[in-house]
Amino acid sequence: MSSLSHLRSRTALWVGATAALASRLLRRGAGEVIGSKLALAFDPDLLRHVGADRRVIVVSGTNGKSTTTALVQAALGNPVDKQTGANMPTGWVTTLIRTHGAVALEVDEPYLAEAMEKLSPEVVCLLNLSRDQLDRTSEVRQIAEKWRLVIAGTTTQIVANANDPLIVYAVGPALNVTWVDAPLVWVKDASSCPLCTRPLSVEGDWECACGFRRPTPTWHLNSRSIEGPGVSIPFSVALPGEYNRGNAAMAIVSAHLAGIQAGVAASRVSEVKEVLGRFGTVRWRGRRWHLFLAKNPAGLAALAQLTEGFSSDLVISINDNVADGRDPSWLYDAPFDEIARGHRVFCTGSRALDIATRLHYSGIESTVIATLDDLPEQVTASVPVTVIANYTAFSEWQRRGTPC
Amino acid sequence: MLSIVTLYPEALGTYGDGGNALALVHRAHARGYRVESLAISLGSPLPDADIYLLGGGEDGPQRQAADALRDDGSLASRVAHGALVVAVCAGLQILGQSFEVAGGRIAEGVGLIDAETRRGAQRRVGNAVITVDGRYVVGFENHGGDTQLGGETPLGQVVRGYGNDGAVDGVRTEGVWGTYLHGPVLALNPWLCDAVIERATGEPLESYASVADDLYQARLASLL
């Protein structure tokens, strides 16, 4: 780095820090976003500079990004309670400034090219691809196509889920891939071959007539161990669900490739019980609320595996802010009927009527809560009430309650 | 007895399209009809049915669906014998003579309606409202196609959004109702769902109140 560009980056960081301080003084939030935004505007090469000489692991995919990023952080020996869920360039700058040494960064799918170009990551961990917020991002196959172009010919170490055909398609042209046999709960977006469009049956060792097939994974999960080349490591996950076992496996392998002994990584990962308040319980208005984030069909399909642990009262909160996607059509792709059947359901959020209608057509009648103040009195007080919420609805629940 | 066939959900089912079969079954049941609903995957022969549903999908799967319907070859005669096709978004596009996919390639359609679809100047993403016979239909569109009808009538006039060309939306012939309002459009518009059932059975339906009416009114209030 030339001394001149050094100076520009340092000035950019000073501009950003000043703005962040001003923003905090004006009580306009934590200040980091405005600070990083200004700093990036001042110096477009800032990411390269703050990321230089850092060992970076980037994590992307439709579902499990925040959780897996936190698990990689844990595996690296970093604190996980400082996770922000920020997954775009301004968030990366903030994280890079606030941390030292090896770091895991979450990457929103459309930003993978920028992350790989500017952060020169040591490891890229790619989880899964499925439909999500189609009004805001591209259709899922277009994302796979873009990734494929970015990844073509790269020698960067990629950790990828061998069970997801869209991931296999995107990662295909990479030279250095470690395939993991991570559980996948949603394959409906890969029912035709990404390569030749013939129908594809994604079961077990799937293969298309054109030759496109599931690669042989080098890492496997057993009930109590994770098996890699020549190693078998005890494996347990405190986070709920089969999908979180998959996220944990992806995190352990990623950290291992970044130089952490796999046994150490697995032991650190096993201790993470909560990420960004997800799977956590909050107290509000004399009731306890057990919060689950689910924002797309694959996320709901994953939650459908956990229904045994749900309370008999079930709150479903669905918003349609920009960050949620403005179009709730996806409610009909998600197995809400499986999740809600047998429960007393309360629908809240700006699209409460949409979820109530979706359940109605599956023969499940629910109560639409127009004003949230009316909710606490109606639910049972004796146990934490299960709340399933999409993105901004989930944040509202976190702000509303105090952790318990 | 009312029979409903959802065509190729693995290819045409991107935006909650399954909601249409769900709503038709529920509302027909509620009026005492026996209903049979099944889904057919690519390559399977079309069974007899009163209503065929086609949903939305991405370019590759959309081409597959068009090819599969042409290979089957029976849809036109089924429509001539009284069946109704309800087609949404990509499903609407493939029923025309041709449609354009990524890279400017022109794909051959099913030819059930006189329509051509080409890539428009921009992708049309957002809430949409049309009027059909003076009644509102609410929904969401997300497509990059401009559809020009030949001699045929559109389904509705665009009040908000874009539809085929900014002025009209979809198509309505004796046997095909198509719209760009994607995904669960029948679930969101209970009156339109009932109109489909009435057209298929030839009988008027008694009224049926549900939370879907509240949703419809709330959407109208927020979009108009």
Task: Report pLDDT for A99.
Answer: 86
Domain for residue A219, yes or no?
Answer: yes
Cβ <8 Å between A192 and B64: yes
Tell me how far apart the alpha carbons of residues A301 and A319 are, in angstroms, rounded to a whole number. 19
Across A211-250, the runs of DSSP E, i.e. the strands, are 220-221, 225-228, 231-234
Which phi and psi (to 5°) does residue A378 adopt? Answer: -85, -15
- Say if residue A87 is in the same domain as residue A4: no
Based on the structure, what is the number of domains in chain B? 1
- Chain B residues whose CB is inside 8 A of the A191 CB are 10-11
Q: Write down the pTM of the prediction.
A: 0.83
Tell me how far apart the alpha carbons of residues B147 and A389 are, in angstroms, rounded to a whole number. 38
Question: Is A347 touching B (CB cutoff 8 A)?
Answer: no
Average pLDDT over residues B152-164: 98
- Chain A residues whose CB is inside 8 A of the B16 CB are 329-333
Burial of A17 (0-12, 13-18, 19+ CB in 10 A): middle
- Say if residue A151 is in the same domain as residue A191: yes
Domain for residue A47, yes or no?
Answer: no
- Say if residue A122 is in the same domain as residue A231: yes
Q: What is the pLDDT of residues A23-61, one digit of tens each?
A: 555 554 455 566 677 777 767 788 888 878 899 999 999
Domain for residue A286, yes or no?
Answer: yes
Radius of gyration of chain B (CA): 16
Cβ <8 Å between B127 and A329: no
Enumerate residues 6+ apart whose C-beta is below 8 A from A277. A291, A398, A403
CA angle B152, B156, B160 (to 5 degrees): 135
CA angle B37, B39, B41 (to 5 degrees): 165
Asked if residues A161 and A126 have their Cβ atoms less than 8 Å apart, the reply is yes
Structure tokens of A260?
């952490």
Strand order across the A123-126 sheet:
A103-106, A56-60, A123-126, A157-161, A177-180
- Count CB pairs under 8 A between chains A and B: 95
CATH number reported for the structural domain that contains residue B212 in this entry: 3.40.50.880
Among A216, A238, A270, give the residue marking a domain's end.
Answer: A270
- Chain B residues whose CB is inside 8 A of the A356 CB are 211, 215
B29 an active-site residue? no
- Chain A residues whose CB is inside 8 A of the B30 CB are none
> Cα A255 to the chain's mean position, in Å?
17
Mutual orientation of helices A352-361 and B18-30 as an angle, nearest 10°? 60
- Say if residue A197 is in the same domain as residue A298: no
Cβ <8 Å between A332 and B188: no
Query: Which of A29, A6, A4 is CA-nearest to residue A19?
Result: A29
Cβ <8 Å between B214 and A327: no
- Say if residue A264 is in the same domain as residue A387: no
Task: Give, as one character, the DSSP assignment of residue A326.
Answer: S
Domain for residue A49, yes or no?
Answer: no
Range with lowest mean pLDDT among A38-47, A335-344, A356-365, B154-163? A38-47
Closest Cα in chain A to B183: A329
Q: What is the pLDDT of residues A115-159, one digit of tens each?
A: 999 999 999 999 999 887 666 666 788 899 999 999 998 999 999
- Say if residue A258 is in the same domain as residue A290: no
CA distance A66 to chain B (A): 25
Based on the structure, what is the number of domains in chain A? 3
Task: Give, as one character, the DSSP assignment of residue A63.
Answer: S
Domain for residue A123, yes or no?
Answer: yes
- Say if residue A313 is in the same domain as residue A210: no
CA distance B196 to chain A (A): 16
CA distance B67 to chain A (A): 12
Task: Report pLDDT for A1.
Answer: 44
Asked if residues A129 and A164 have their Cβ atoms less than 8 Å apart, the reply is yes
Domain for residue A315, yes or no?
Answer: yes
Which CA distances in Å does A378 have to A5, A166, A311, A374, B102?
A: 61, 44, 14, 7, 52
Written as one string, the DSSP assignment of A147-159 is: HHHHHTT--SEEE
Q: What is the pLDDT of residues B37-69, one digit of tens each?
A: 999 988 899 999 999 999 998 888 899 899 999
Query: Which among A142, A330, A368 has the least Cβ separation from residue B211?
Result: A368
Give the 3-state secondary structure percentages of chain B, helix then strand then coil, rounded to 5: 30, 35, 35
Label residues A194-206 b or e (16+ Cβ within 10 Å = b): bbebebbebeeeb
Q: What is the largest CA-CA distance in chain A?
A: 68
B182 an active-site residue? yes
Query: Which among B43, B127, B215 has the least Cβ separation from residue A199?
Result: B43
- Domain range holding A86? 54-270
Binned at pLDDT 50, 70 and 90, residue A310 comes out as very high
Domain for residue A275, yes or no?
Answer: no
- Say if residue A19 is in the same domain as residue A62: no
Examine the predicted complex and report whether its ipTM is higher than 0.85.
Answer: yes
- Chain A residues whose CB is inside 8 A of the B140 CB are 135, 326-327, 329
Tell me how far apart the alpha carbons of residues B17 and B6 are, in angstroms, rounded to a whole number. 9
Question: Is A138 touching B (CB cutoff 8 A)?
Answer: no
- Say if residue A100 is in the same domain as residue A245: yes
- Say if residue A18 is in the same domain as residue A108: no
Binned at pLDDT 50, 70 and 90, residue A5 comes out as low
> Cα A323 to the chain's mean position, in Å?
14
Q: What is the largest CA-CA distance in chain B?
A: 49
Task: Report pLDDT for A6.
Answer: 66
Label residues B138-166 b or e (16+ Cβ within 10 Å = b): bbbbbbbbbbebeeeebbbebbebbbbee
Query: Which among A134, A192, A357 has the least Cβ separation from residue B11?
Result: A192
Q: What is the pLDDT of residues B1-41, one digit of tens each?
A: 999 999 999 889 888 999 999 999 999 999 999 999 999 98
- Say if residue A261 is in the same domain as residue A288: no
Question: Is A332 touching B (CB cutoff 8 A)?
Answer: yes
Asked if residues A95 and A104 have their Cβ atoms less than 8 Å apart, the reply is no
Q: Which helix (H) or strand (E) holds A255?
A: helix A242-257
Query: Which among B61, B125, B188 has the least Cβ separation from residue A192?
Result: B61
Q: What is the pLDDT of residues B121-143, one digit of tens each?
A: 899 999 999 999 999 999 999 99
CA distance A367 to chain B (A): 10
Number of Cβ atoms within 10 Å of the Cβ of A292: 24
Number of Cβ atoms within 10 Å of the Cβ of A157: 19
Structure tokens of B109?
């359609």
CA distance A135 to chain B (A): 6
- Say if residue A160 is in the same domain as residue A231: yes
The chain-wide mean pLDDT, for chain B, equals: 96
Cβ <8 Å between A357 and B188: yes
- Domain range holding B117? 2-223
